[in-house]
Amino acid sequence: MSIPIIAVLAGGTSPERDVSLGSGRAVALGMAYSHPTQFFTVEADALPAGLDPARHVVCSTLHGVFGEDGGMQRLLEAAGVAYAGCDIKASDLTFDKWRTRLSVSARGVQVAPGRVFQATAKPAAAALAAELGEQVVLKPNRQGSSVGLQIVSTRVGLEIALNGIRQGEWIAEERILGREFTVGLLRGRAMGIVEVVPKSGVFDYTSKYTKGLTEYVAPAKISEEIAARMGAAAETAFAACGCRDYARIDFMLSPDGELYLLEINTLPGMKETSLLPMSARCVGLDFVALCREMVAPAVERFAQARVARA
């Protein structure tokens, strides 16, 4: 049976294109140690030319809209191309932060109090502050990598932020003060826990992608009891949303020890210094091994499909 070529997809049309290109280049280099690899730059919301379902298994590093929301996954499945990561349904679900909240909370994973609203029907600042307090997190419901994230601490700030929202669906959440963590998962099992310490106090797009603005503690310095609870919550959330293969899940830990899920990232950043690789290194998986393990289930699916067609 022929060995598939791993097609690494990167770029895309979202605001996170440059981040995706960095992830893709790193994954292509890492993957090449264990598989024949081909790099594809995605320039439109379409399959790149040259993908062959009989030869390729896709490892996508596309971030944001079309990459993570099920758009690319839908095209891959329609073309019969095997791919690593979450399927259409789970990708669409986890890209929708509000539906993710509903899915994980139904399984007992805690989320911050919040509400969803349309830009055309915004709540009044006074009403929102009365419901959630004056420290509020505002974010687009369907975007990635902290795009559009705003954290406000005063009633005036909340009024200004709401006035600036012009389109789309948004989420407002009570701001949970505490420590931020992330957990990588492979085949639904939690790996190491990483603490994220942004110097600004907010892990927004700038803090995430500007060198030197955030410190990381890997493995996180937390008790075994908290680590066990966080790992179990991550695995529960992964299963609740129907995820497969791998993901990264972010949490806040309040001063009184309460855990709150922030979001599920199904195609997280994949430079060697990114959070998922950090989590993997905590359990002894270097970057090359992580790349190999991320794509392994898709290679298995590729082989099974070929047998079924034979």
Could you give the residue numbers annotated as active site? 16, 145, 209, 248, 250, 263, 265, 269
Question: Radius of gyration (Cα) for the chain, nearest Å?
Answer: 19
Residues 6+ apart with CB under 8 A from 229: 259
- Give the separation between CA 90 and CA 193, rounded to whole angstroms: 23
- Give the separation between CA 24 and CA 22, rounded to whole angstroms: 5
Are 50 and 18 spatial neighbours (Cβ–Cβ below 8 Å)? no
Are 245 and 84 spatial neighbours (Cβ–Cβ below 8 Å)? yes
* Total length of the chain: 310
Reply yes or no: is the peptide bond before residue 140 cis, omega within 30 of 0.
no
DSSP letters spanning 247-283: EEEEEEE-TTS-EEEEEEESS---STTSHHHHHHHHT
- Give the separation between CA 253 and CA 277, rounded to whole angstroms: 22
- Give the separation between CA 213 and CA 200, rounded to whole angstroms: 7
Are 194 and 133 spatial neighbours (Cβ–Cβ below 8 Å)? no
